[in-house]
Amino acid sequence: MDAKFKSLDDIHVSGKRVILRADLNLPVANGKITDHTRLERLLPTLRELTEKNARVIVLSHFGRPKGRDMKQSLAPIAAALEQALGIDIKFVSDCIGADALAAAQTLQDGKILVCENLRFHEAEEKNDPDFAAQLAQLGEIYINDAFSVSHRAHASVYGLAQKLPRAAGRMMEAELRALASALEHPRPPVMAIAGGSKVSTKLELLNNIIPRVQKLVLGGAMANTFLFAQGKNVAASMHEKDMVETVREIMITAGKHGCEIILPTDAQLADAVKSNANIRTAQIADIQPNEMILDFGPESLARVEKILGECQTLLWNGPLGVFEVPPFDKGTVEIAKFAAAQTQAGKLTSIAGGGDTAAAMNHADVMDQFTYISTAGGAFLEWLEGKTLPGVAALAG
């Protein structure tokens, strides 16, 4: 890991009040947590801190409340954390003020306190220095284990980090190592897979990765815009007509850097984005006026697998097709399983993340078979775009 960062190996935590910035912003539907991934990934840091007799004060946001909205309380998440760890966890109904301070100061060695939702205070998102100072009173050491919010210069991520001795938690450390191995010193040849609906939202990402990769597979509606820019008929497929000139510039840049752009030649075509639509597999050149390109076809998938089989590093952001609607998940699932097998055979370093990517990998059942799958959305994307993340920068020094 970058020498600028301290990890849990570098700090003495026994008997100390340790503020742990976590990301407990878990997806909840009808009062039930639908995906425990982020919670599970936090457990190693929590277990290590409690085993070292730290007094752990957990800070997190949950949702986007406007003020104190108890429907977005962290209390149910704290209960889920308690169940996962199998130890009693204290919960306090605020993250600043007399009650929070008293709860933190009376916490015993090896115990955990979860504070109420940071975003109940609008000062959190404004990176208010007074709010950061009040948070700092809770502890003696600051640990950031929330890479997924480190692209936001919020009080608990940026302001607070500068007020206390600081280190990266185990999940943050793993994420930073994985990302460095993929972009800063990857083993060539490197393939990137970029999916998603719009070129306009992925411009910075494409411009940052093209000089660093030898093969770039484009999927989703973004691929349609590239096909359209090449003069191909995409019929009723989603595409961005106003991005044609930009796409042509990207293709010229890729050529200069020796980066081969790989687009589908055949596809799953349908007249609606529904499982029961009229679906057929055909060459894209044979598309009918009422049809849409909704996933890669078998010929294109075989080509991607052949090229990926010759690569040593894979960087994946965004699905190849409309993976939420079977059978248009086939391309994403097939390539994910192939990449997982290559990784397990020791032939490939595979990093995936951003947006729907973790959900797509979960759907393909390969979450534990890639080198690293990031649950961070915006932070992973901004990192791929070459941006400095405030939360990561604040840990340095």
Where along the chain do its domains lie?
8-172, 186-384
Amino acid sitting at position 376:
A
Percent of the chain's residues with pLDDT above 90: 85
For 61, phi then psi, to 5°, come to: -100, 170
Tell me the CATH architecture of domain 186-384. 3-Layer(aba) Sandwich (3.40)
Token pair for 152: 């936001």
Q: Can you tell me the distance from the alpha carbon of 211 to that of 214, in angstroms, rounded to the nearest whole number?
A: 8
CATH of 8-172, one of 3.40.50.1260, 3.30.413.10, 1.10.357.10, 3.40.50.620: 3.40.50.1260
Q: What is the reported pLDDT for 390?
A: 93
Q: What is the reported pLDDT for 397?
A: 60
List pLDDT tens digits, range 80-126.
999 999 999 999 999 999 999 999 999 999 999 999 999 999 999 99
Q: Catalytic amino acids? A: 38, 198, 355, 378
List pLDDT tens digits, range 191-237.
999 998 888 888 899 999 999 999 999 999 999 999 999 999 999 99
Decide if 325 contacts 274 (C-beta within 8 A). yes
Q: Which residue has the higher pLDDT, 198 or 132?
A: 132
Q: Is 306 exposed, middle or buried (0-12, 13-18, 19+ CB in 10 A)?
A: exposed
DSSP 148: G
Same fold, 8-172 and 186-384: yes
Full-model pTM: 0.86
In angstroms, what is the C-alpha Rg of the chain? 23
Q: What is the reported pLDDT for 4?
A: 79
Position 2 pLDDT exceeds 70:
no
Cα distances (angstroms) measured from residue 254 to each of 251, 262, 312: 5, 11, 20
Q: Which residue has the higher pLDDT, 376 or 64?
A: 64
Decide if 303 contacts 262 (C-beta within 8 A). yes
With b for 16 or more beta-carbon neighbours within 10 A and e for fewer, the 184-209 pattern comes to eebeeebbbbbbbbebeebeebbeeb
List pLDDT tens digits, range 34-53.
888 889 999 999 999 999 99
Q: How confident is the model at residue 1 (pLDDT cuts 50, 70, 90)?
A: very low
